[in-house]
Amino acid sequence: MLRYILHRLALIVPTFIGITLVAFGLVRLLGSDPVALLAGERVMSPERHALLSEQFGFNRPIWEQYLDFVLSALQGDFGISIRTKTAVLDQFLTLFPATVELALFAMLFAILIGIPAGIFAAVKRGSWFDQVTMGAALVGYSMPIFWWGLLLIIVVSGMLGWTPVSGRIGLQFFFRPITGFMTIDSLIHGNWPAFVSALRHLILPSIVLGTIPLAIIARQTRSAMLEVLGEDYVRTARSKGLSPRRVIGIHAFRNALIPVITTIGLQVGMLMAGAILTETIFSWPGIGKWMIEAIGRRDYATVQGGLLIVALVVMVVNLFVDVLYALVNPRIRVQ
């Protein structure tokens, strides 16, 4: 097992190098002078421009800037924002709980609906339920996030008035953050109306962000269940007279759960990518909205540092899923 973990850790090194190249290179394609953007509409003298370029290191060769970026990242320094003059990592840690809270509720929504839907679709293979479920999964997977989010805002929030349009909590509620999770902090402070408000603000963003993972989980669960239901041990369990609920719930589902767990783990990257659009649509103060604003301001340090941190988070989660998968299925370690 230790050898397997070391092998997975070794694969992170080239992945990390590739991510740094992408993060560093993409921001250079933005095409604007970040020092000139600091002046806004004011006229900046050449001396002032040269001074700021030297201060932020933009006057140095590209390879030196890249090497400094990598060495600083290895030490936990992901740069200083050009606009706010604060550490990128500090901004990330402040906003990350909002994104995690949204991603957890979105994944909970996807799991609670996707897994049962996939199981029943496999058991009722070829029925109208199977066809409707898989058709809906295909539509959900193909649906653009920005269109789906705006449609729900218009119908659910605008026409029906069931949920708030944007934000994390009602403006009338204010309390000192402890964990950064609005639902947990409201309960810690004993503010039940604030907890209800935080949940209502989470409904639409969670549905929008969790729609694509839900479709993938449902299709993967159905495929895994169909494969397991054809195995000899399932037919043996049925021949022994076990109830269908026991055969499906214990013998079949427990073995079909292994690829489903892997699929759920791989959705972390998709959730982080989907959060960019979702948080922008719902004005959710998380990492996605922060990155979009940094791109609009041409804040090089924030964009490249934020991209690298998000990629590292996804890499760590995928490593954890790989290790968990190897613990559940020892054949993975052998292979």
CATH code at 269? 1.10.3720.10
216 and 123, same structural domain?
yes
Beta bridge partners of 80: 87
Instruction: With respect to residue 153, please indicate whether it lies within any of the assigned structural domains.
Output: yes
Which three-class secondary structure state does DSSP give residue 87?
A: strand
199 and 106, same structural domain?
yes
* 10-residue mean pLDDT series, the chain (335 residues): 70 80 73 61 67 71 80 82 82 89 91 90 85 87 85 89 86 82 88 90 91 90 83 71 70 76 76 80 87 79 84 80 67 53
**Which tokens in the block code for residue 260?**
């489903």
Instruction: With respect to residue 326, please indicate whether it lies within any of the assigned structural domains.
Output: no
284 and 143, same structural domain?
yes
Instruction: With respect to residue 303, please indicate whether it lies within any of the assigned structural domains.
Output: no
* Per-residue confidence (pLDDT) for residue 15, from 0 to 100: 81
Instruction: With respect to residue 301, please indicate whether it lies within any of the assigned structural domains.
Output: no
32 and 106, same structural domain?
no
Q: How many other CB atoms are there within 10 angstroms of residue 56's CB atom? A: 18
199 and 144, same structural domain?
yes
226 and 113, same structural domain?
yes
Nearest to 165 by CA among 244, 281, 21: 281
119 and 249, same structural domain?
yes
Which three-class secondary structure state does DSSP give residue 37?
A: helix
Q: How many CA atoms lie within 13 A of 67 on its CB side?
A: 5
Total number of domains in the chain: 2
Instruction: With respect to residue 200, please indicate whether it lies within any of the assigned structural domains.
Output: yes
Residue that finishes a domain, picked among 49, 74, 99? 74
* Per-residue confidence (pLDDT) for residue 280, from 0 to 100: 86
* Per-residue confidence (pLDDT) for residue 127, from 0 to 100: 86
Instruction: With respect to residue 222, please indicate whether it lies within any of the assigned structural domains.
Output: yes
Question: What residues contact residue 296 under an 8 Å CB cut-off, 6+ apart?
Answer: none
The range of the structural domain enclosing residue 212 comes to 88-296
134 and 283, same structural domain?
yes
* Per-residue confidence (pLDDT) for residue 21, from 0 to 100: 83
Instruction: With respect to residue 302, please indicate whether it lies within any of the assigned structural domains.
Output: no
Residue that finishes a domain, picked among 74, 96, 131? 74
Q: Residue 216 burial (CB < 10 Å; 0-12/13-18/19+)?
A: buried
* Per-residue confidence (pLDDT) for residue 120, from 0 to 100: 86
146 and 39, same structural domain?
no
* Per-residue confidence (pLDDT) for residue 330, from 0 to 100: 59
194 and 59, same structural domain?
no
pTM value is: 0.80
147 and 52, same structural domain?
no
Q: Residue 218 burial (CB < 10 Å; 0-12/13-18/19+)?
A: buried
Q: Which residues of 257-279 are buried (b: 16+ CB within 10 A; e: fewer)?
A: bbbbebbbbbbbbebbebbbbbb
* Per-residue confidence (pLDDT) for residue 203, from 0 to 100: 92
* Per-residue confidence (pLDDT) for residue 251, from 0 to 100: 66
108 and 70, same structural domain?
no
